[in-house]
Structure 1
Amino acid sequence: MSSHPVPAAPTPGSSAPPSPAPTAPGASPRLHHLDALRGGALLLGVLLHALMPFLPGGYWLVDDVHESGIALGAVGVIHLFRMVLFMMLAGYFGHMVLHRRGAGSYVRDRLLRIGLPLPTLGPVLFVLMVGALVLNDVVRDLGPLSAPPTDPGAPTGFLGLPTMHLWFLLLLVEIALVVVAVRAVLVRVLGADRAGRLSSRIGDLLASRAGLVVVAVPYALGLIVQGGGMASITEPYTLVPVAGASIAYSGAFLAGWFLRSRPDALTRVERRWVLHLGIALVLTPVTLLLSPMLPGAVVALTAALAGWAWVYGLLGLCARLVRREIPWVRYLADSSYWVYLLHFPLLLLAAVPLADLGLPVLVKLVLTLGVVMAVLLLSYDLMVRPSWIGKWLNGHRRPSALLARRGTWRTRREPSVA
C-alpha cells in the first residue's frame, strides 16, 4: 500500500496530496476540489434541515404553514448522495492518514476529532433542541409539548439516547475502527505486499467502467435490508447501529479507501464525470417519482446507481472547477465541520417565529439560513478558528479572518494618522 505524506484531517476532506501521482517527500499539497466537496457535503446537510419544515405531511419538529413540493424534491436529491459522498471522502483521507501516521495515531485522531464531539456537544445541542420545541409550542399556542409516538422495538435506556444529527460521528468512528482492525488481520495473514496488491486491484476495479455498478452494490443492499421500498438510507438516531446504514456507509467508506490505494484511480473516475452526471440526471427522477410503483429491489438499484453517479460525477466536476485554492471556498470548507455540528437546534429556533407567517417559502428559507449561517460563521471566526477548539476539531489554529482584516486596516491607517 502507498504511504504518501498527508496532513491530519478533522473530517473527510482535509489536506492531502493529489491522487494521480505520489508527492515528493515532505510535500503535502491539498486536493482543493476534495476540500470543496467535503465542505459542500456538510453544508448541504444544513440546507437539507432548513428545507424540512416545508415538506408535505407535517411531521417535522417545527412545521411551517406552507408546504412545498420543490423542497420535497430537493431533499430527496440531497439524500441520494450526500452522506455517501461524505463517507467516501472519509475512507479516502482515512487511508492517507493511516499510511502516513500509522494505525494507532489514526485511531486516536478519529476518536478525538470525530468521537469526542458526540458526548461533549451532544447534550448541549439536545437541550437547545428541546428548548426550541418548547418555544414552538408556546409561541404558536400548540398546547403542551407531547412526546412523539414510540416504536415498540426501539432501544431503551442508555442505548436509546438520541444522537440527533450527530449520528454520523458515531457511525464513522465504528466503521473506522472495524476497518483498521480487519486491515491489521489481513496484513498479518497475507503480508503487507499481498494485502497492498489486493487493495490496489479493488481500487482499479472501482475506477473501471464497471466501477459504478460495483460500488453501488453495498448501497443497494443497505436499502434492501432496511426494507420499505425507500430510496434513502434510514439513519441510526440512537446509539444502536442500524443494519442498512452500516452496510451502505461502510461500503462508501471502503470505496474511498480502495480508490486511494490505487494512485491513478480517482483521476480515472473523474475523467468520466459527464457520463456519470448524465446517469444521475436520468436515474434520479425515475427513482424519486416512480418509487411507489416499482418493486423494492428495483428502487434500491436505481437509488444506489443514482447516488453513486452523483458522487462520481461531482468528483470530476469539482476537479475541473476547483483547480487551485479559492480563499472563500477554503474558508467555508474549514468552517463546515463547526457549522454542521451546531446548526440543527439553531435552525429550529430560527424557524419558530417564521412558521406561521405568510411569507413565501423562498423568503423564509433565505432568512433562516442567513441568520443561522451568520451566527455560526461569526462564532467560528472569532471563537473557534483561532482557539483550542479549532485545534481540536480541525487539527490547527488559524487567525480570525475578521480580526486579521481589522489589523490590516489599522496598519494601513496608522501612518496617515501619525
Structure 2
Amino acid sequence: MRTVATVACPTRRGDDAHRSAAPRLHGLDALRAGALLLGIVLHSLLPFDPAADWLVADERSSALAAVAVSVIHLFRMSLFMLLAGYFGRLVLHRRGWSRYLGDRLLRIGLPFVVFWPLAVLPLWPLMVLDARLRGAPDPAPRAAAHPLLALPPGQLWFLLVLLQSVLIVLIVRALILAVIGPRRAARSAEWAGRLLAAPLGVLPAAVPYWAALLRQGTVDGGIAAPAALAPDLAALTAYAGAFTVGWALQADPGALRRIARSWPAHLTAAVGTTVPALLAAGPGAPLPLSAAVTAVAGWSWVYALLGICVRFLHAERPAIRYLADASYWMYLTHLPLLIAIEIPLARLDLPIAVKLAATWLAAGAALVAGYHLLVRSTPVGHWLNGHRYPFRPLQAPWRNDARRIRPASPAAPHRPRGLDRAP
C-alpha cells in the first residue's frame, strides 16, 4: 500500500503546513487529462454513430462506435467535475475563497469568452460546407425566444456548468460556515468524504446523476449537454453534484487510499452494470429504474478509474505530465479542426478504423504542435495552466519540464504544484 500512501491527503494535524508540502497528485493529473482527451475521442466517433445528430454524418456507421460513445458519455464529465471539486477545495484552503474565485474566473470564465469565437463560431460554416458537399439543404438555425437561448455554448458548455458549480458550492459553504461554524463544518465535510469513499459510497454519489436523469425525462444519451447560456437544471444537478462529491472527498485524508483499495470491486460493478444501463436506454423501461441503473454504472466507472489511477499512476511520467498540461488547450480548440478533417473523410470509401486513425493522427499532431509552439512557453500557457516552461524542440518536448519559468517579482505568491491548472 506504499504506492497509494504517496498520494493520500495529509492528516488533520498540522493540516495547513502539511498541505503546503503535499506531493503532486500525478494519478489525478493523468485522470483529468484523460477525461478531456476522451472528449476528443468521443467527438471523433460521433460521425459513425447512426443514432447521433452530429455535425458530420459519415457514409459508414458502426454499432460499436455507438456503444463506445454511450459508455464514454456515461462517466466522462462526472469524472472531470469530481476532479475539479477535489482540486477546488484544496486550492481554496490554501489560497482563500476570494483568490480561488478570481482564479476560476480567469481560467474558466475568460477562456469561454475568448475561445468561443475561435472554437464554436466556425462550426456553423463547417456544417453548411458539409451539407453542400452532400447536396443537402443548408442547415436552418434554430429560433430562440430569449437571447440567452440563441447563443449556443457549443462544446464549451462545460466551462459554464463548472463556473456555476463553483459559485453554488461557495455560496452553500458560506451559509454552512455562518450557521454551524468552521469546526463543525470541517467535521461534517470529513464525515461526508468518509461516507463517499466507503465501498458503497458510489450509491450516494450517484444520487444527483439519478435526479438529473429524472428531471431530463430520459436516459437515452446520458446527461444532455446544455444547448444555451441559460443554466440547465438537469446538467447542473448532475455536475454540481459531482463537483460536490470531489469537494467532500478532499476533506477526508484517507479517501483516495480507500477508493484505490477498492478499485477491483468498482471496476467489476462498472462492467456489470454497463450493459443493463445501455439496454435501459431503450423504450419500455420505467424511468426511475433505468435512471438508477445508468447513474450507478456511470459512477462505478468514475470510482474505478479514480482508484486505478491513484493506485498505479502515482509516480511522475514526463510524457503523461506533458499531456496533462496540454489537454486543456487541446480540448478547447479541437472541434473545428476535427470537423474539418472529418468532412472530406466522410466521403471516402475507407474502413472506419482507417478514418479514425487518420483523424487521430492529424488532429493530435496539430493540437500538440499548437500547444507546444503557441502555449507551453508563452503567456497563454501561464493564463490557462498557471505556469509556463522554457521553449524546447518538439523532439521529446517533455524532457526537463520541471524547470518552469518563474515570475520575476520575488513578491509574487507561491503557486502550489499541480493545483494551479484549469480543472
TM-score if structure 1 supplies the norm length?
A: 0.89
Partners of 2:206 and 2:142 lie apart in 1 by 34
State the partner residue of 2:196. Answer: 206
Aligned counterparts of 1:231 and 1:130: Cα–Cα separation in 2: 23
The counterpart of 2:355, out of the listed 350, 355, 364, is 364
Q: Percent identity?
A: 47
**What amino acid is aligned across from residue 189 of structure 1 in structure 2?**
V
* TM-superposition CA deviations, 1:149-194 (whole Å, max 9, x none): 55xxx55324421100000001100110111111112112211101
How far, CA to CA, are the matches of 1:374 and 1:403 in structure 2? 11
Question: Contact 1:231–1:287 (CA<8 Å) still a contact in 2?
Answer: no
Mapped to 1, the partners of 2:278 and 2:49 lie a distance apart of: 15
Where does residue 146 of structure 1 map in the other structure?
A: 139
1:239-318 correspondence to structure 2 within 5 Å: 239-292=229-282, 293-318=284-309
1:354 is matched by which residue type in structure 2?
L
Q: CA deviation at 1:145?
A: 1.6
The residue type equivalent to 1:76 in the other structure is: S
User: Per-residue deviation at 1:144?
Assistant: 4.4
- Structure 1 SS opposite 2:198: coil
Q: Distance in 2 between matches of 1:252 and 1:222?
A: 11
> Does the aligned pair in 1 maintain the 2:74–2:222 contact within 8 Å?
yes
Cα displacement (A) at 1:244: 1.1
Matches of 2:280 and 2:200 in 1, distance apart? 25
Alignment of 1:85 with 2:79, yes or no, is: yes
**2:122 — aligned with what?**
128
Aligned match of 2:388: 397
Distance 1:386 1:155, change over 3 A: farther
Q: In structure 2, what is the Cα distance between the partners aligned to 1:287 and 1:187?
A: 39
Q: Deviations over 1:202-233 (max 9, x none)?
A: 11111123311111111101101110243500
2 CA distance for matches of 1:101 and 1:360?
A: 52
Q: One-letter code of the match for 1:276?
A: H
Give the equivalent residue in structure 1 for 2:10.
21
Q: Does 1:56 align with 2:45?
A: no
Please give the alpha-carbon distance, in whole angstroms, between the structure 2 residues aligned to 1:221 and 1:251.
10
Equivalent pair of 1:229/1:295 in contact (CA under 8 Å): no
Equivalent position amino acid for 1:219 in 2: Y
Q: Unaligned 5+ residue runs, structure 2?
A: 1-5, 12-16, 400-423
Q: 1:248-291, CA deviations, whole angstroms, 9 ceiling, x for partnerless residues?
A: 11110000000000111121112110000000001001110243
Match of 1:70 among 64, 68, 88: 64
Cα distance change of structure 1 residues 404 and 397 upon mapping to structure 2, 3 Å threshold: farther
**In structure 2, distance between residues paired with 1:68 and 1:91:** 36
Determine if contact 1:51/1:75 at 8 Å carries over to the other structure.
yes
Retained in 1: the 8 A contact 2:214–2:291?
yes
* CA-CA distance at 1:242 after TM superposition: 1.4
Whole-Å separation in 1 of the counterparts to 2:93 and 2:218: 40
Task: Output one character per residue of 1:43-99: Cα deviation in whole Å (capped at 9) or x when no partner.
Answer: 000000000111114621111000110100000000000000000001000000000
Q: 1:47 aligns with which of 31, 37, 41?
A: 41
CA distance in 1, matches of 2:145, 2:270: 36
Gaps of 5+ in 1: 1-16, 409-418
Please report the TM-score for the alignment, with normalisation by the length of structure 2.
0.88
Q: Quick one: which of 346, 367, 370 aligns to 1:376? A: 367
Amino acid at match of 2:168: V
Give how far 1:148 is off.
4.9
CA contact (8 A) 1:204 1:265 kept: yes
1:346 aligned to 2:340? no
| Residue identity in the other structure for 1:18 | V
Distance 1:316 1:229, change over 3 A: closer
What is the CA distance between 1:320 and its match in structure 2?
A: 2.6
Distance 2:239 2:19 in 1: 33
What amino acid is the match of 2:138? L
Label 1:149 to 1:245 Cα distance change in 2 as closer, same or farther (>3 A): same
Asked if the contact 1:129–1:345 (Cα under 8 Å) also holds between the matched residues in 2, the reply is yes
Which of 73, 93, 109 aligns to 1:115? It is 109
Aligned residue number for residue 137 of structure 1: 131
| Distance in 2 separating the partners of 1:171 and 1:155 | 22
**How far 1:137 moved relative to its partner?**
3.0
Distance 1:133 1:93, change over 3 A: same
Aligned length: 387
State the AA in 2 paired with 1:78: I
Aligned residue identity for 1:275: A
Counterpart of 1:187 in structure 2 is 177
